């Protein structure tokens, strides 16, 4: 009599073979997940760096544009500058101050109104954010009336590891110096 449940040639996978396949596939998937999460992390870090650089450039451009219009530096230090802007084109004269407020934010102060300009500014020991020079290029201290050139050295620490990630420098000649 023929037994219909008995098959001489059994074709299939054993439990051990299936477990080996699952382990191999798991290792491949784990490698792919690690690879892609590293890529995503790098992309996010790059986007944060790009955003911080864009903000630093905008802040620097704002300071340069406004300080350039000044007629003289009324006060200043290595972290603060106050410039007197003359009456131009029907606009009234005013004083504007750019100051490192707290430890990491540069504020723009005009008519007692303070607005944050840029965050995460790093003040490196022994270095100045603002340096002042006369027309001969000799360093002077405000409120010396001969200040006609300002050097800005802006360092931004995006990842807050006490190392500057972005460094911007600019030299500004006061356009209305001596008016």
The residue with tokens 């990842």 is 159
CB distance 133 to 140 below 8 Å: yes
Domain annotation covers residue 35: yes
**Mind listing the pLDDT tens digit for each residue in 15-45?**
899 999 999 999 999 999 999 999 999 999 8
Range of the domain at 86: 26-173
Domain annotation covers residue 13: no
Q: pTM for the complete prediction? A: 0.77
Domain annotation covers residue 10: no
Domain annotation covers residue 15: no
Domain annotation covers residue 179: no
**Mind listing the pLDDT tens digit for each residue in 110-150?**
988 999 999 999 988 889 999 999 989 999 998 888 999 99
pLDDT for position 139: 94
Domain annotation covers residue 83: yes
Distances in Å between the Cα of 107 and the Cα atoms of 39, 53, 65, 90, 125 are 36, 18, 15, 26, 20
Domain annotation covers residue 6: no
**Mind listing the pLDDT tens digit for each residue in 94-114?**
999 999 988 889 999 998 899
Distance between CA 170 and CA 175 in Å, rounded?
15
Beta strand 105-110 pairing with 113-118 = antiparallel
Confidence of residue 158 (pLDDT cuts 50, 70, 90): confident
Domain annotation covers residue 11: no
Task: Give the number of domains in the chain.
Answer: 1
Confidence of residue 178 (pLDDT cuts 50, 70, 90): low
In 10 A of CB 77, how many CB atoms? Answer: 15
Distance between CA 40 and CA 101 in Å, rounded?
34
**Mind listing the pLDDT tens digit for each residue in 72-83?**
999 999 999 999
What sign for the dihedral angle of Cα 112, 117, 122, 125? negative
Of all residues in the chain, the percent with pLDDT exceeding 90 is: 65
Taking the mean position of all CA atoms in its chain, how far away is CA 6?
75
What sign for the dihedral angle of Cα 32, 37, 39, 40? positive
């Amino acid at each position: 009599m023929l037994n219909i449940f008995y098959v001489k040639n059994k074709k299939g996978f054993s439990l051990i073979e299936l477990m080996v396949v699952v382990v191999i596939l798991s290792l491949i998937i784990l490698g792919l997940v690690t690879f892609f999460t590293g890529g995503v992390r790098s992309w996010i870090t790059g986007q944060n760096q790009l955003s911080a650089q864009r903000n630093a450039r905008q802040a620097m451009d704002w300071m340069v544009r406004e300080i350039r219009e000044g007629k003289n530096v009324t006060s200043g230090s290595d972290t603060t500058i106050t410039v007197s802007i003359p009456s131009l084109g029907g606009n009234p004269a005013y004083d504007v101050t750019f100051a490192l407020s707290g430890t990491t934010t540069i504020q723009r102060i005009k008519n007692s109104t303070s607005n944050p300009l840029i965050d995460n500014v790093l003040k490196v020991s022994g270095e100045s954010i603002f340096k002042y020079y006369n027309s001969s290029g000799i360093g002077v201290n405000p409120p010396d009336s001969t200040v006609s050139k300002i050097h800005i050295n802006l360092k931004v620490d995006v990842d807050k590891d006490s190392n500057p990630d972005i460094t911007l420098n600019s030299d500004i000649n006061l356009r209305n110096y001596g008016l």
